[in-house]
Structure 1
Amino acid sequence: MTLDELDIGLLRALAEDATLGAAELGRRVGLSQPATWRRIKRLREAGVLAGRRLDLDLEKLGFGVTVFLGVKLATKGRVSLEDFERAVTAIPEVQTVEHVLGLYDFRLRVVARDLSDFERVLRRRIMMLPGVGDVEANVLLSEERRPGPI
């Protein structure tokens, strides 16, 4: 799908505020409401707009610690990557599971209430998963967000 300047303008406006209605989006890019709806529908059908996200403030919800874990599987032959992925995605504290190339096989984003809660999740849930070998933890100190399309 080829995107024109109006499509890119709509994507930028939605990246800033996904709650904007078609009328306001249209005003921002110079389109009528019906024309804006047609473009949004086309972007959804093409898979460019793949859904809507709710952005929660984890700290206000009581999750004060975010840890990135590098996980290397101990025995790749005995445990399939799919089995590990299925098991780790069932852990509610694990926010993202990324299969990566490099020193580790997976990169996980894990949230916890505090460090002792993270230790509990690590020891009782993640380290008990089939095939887990080496694990490296990196605690998030701060995060800078840069919203918008690439």
Structure 2
Amino acid sequence: MRVIVQRAREASVSVNNEIVGKISKGLMLLVGITHTDTMADASYVAEKVANLRIFEDESGKMNHSLLDVKGEILSVSQFTLYGDCRKGRRPNFMDAAKPEQANEIYMGFNEELKNLGIHVETGLFGEMMDVQFVNEGPVTLIIESK
């Protein structure tokens, strides 16, 4: 499992020009699932995301987690995170999980986050989406379960 974590001042995702998910302060997540991922991977990454200390304290140091600042999450499924661009000019997506498996793990990942007490908004799995956000900092990290 591979997740791009971006600290956001605000974020939204639209399908057909209609907003389907929107948050204020929190994290914008792009979530990629590979064929070897399980719910154990989803649980590990959810706990890591929720407790990652990437929000600034009163001294300007990254000492607070999403849970500490009571932030929200916008989670968007992103199979292209497993695109292999090493050969040729067209990415190979063979490492991305099949849609049925990916959706099950993606939904479980979002449930894990909700179970930790986080408000989670999502895009629509498998749809063409437009994502807008303000990357605060900018702060962008990659979390992988393996």
Q: Which has the higher helix share?
A: 1
For the aligned pair, the TM-score class normalised by the smaller chain equals under 0.3
TM-score normalised by L of structure 1: 0.27
Pick 1 or 2: higher relative contact order, CA cutoff 8 A, min separation 6.
Answer: 2
User: Which has the larger share of strand?
Assistant: 2
Normalising by structure 2, report the TM-score: 0.27
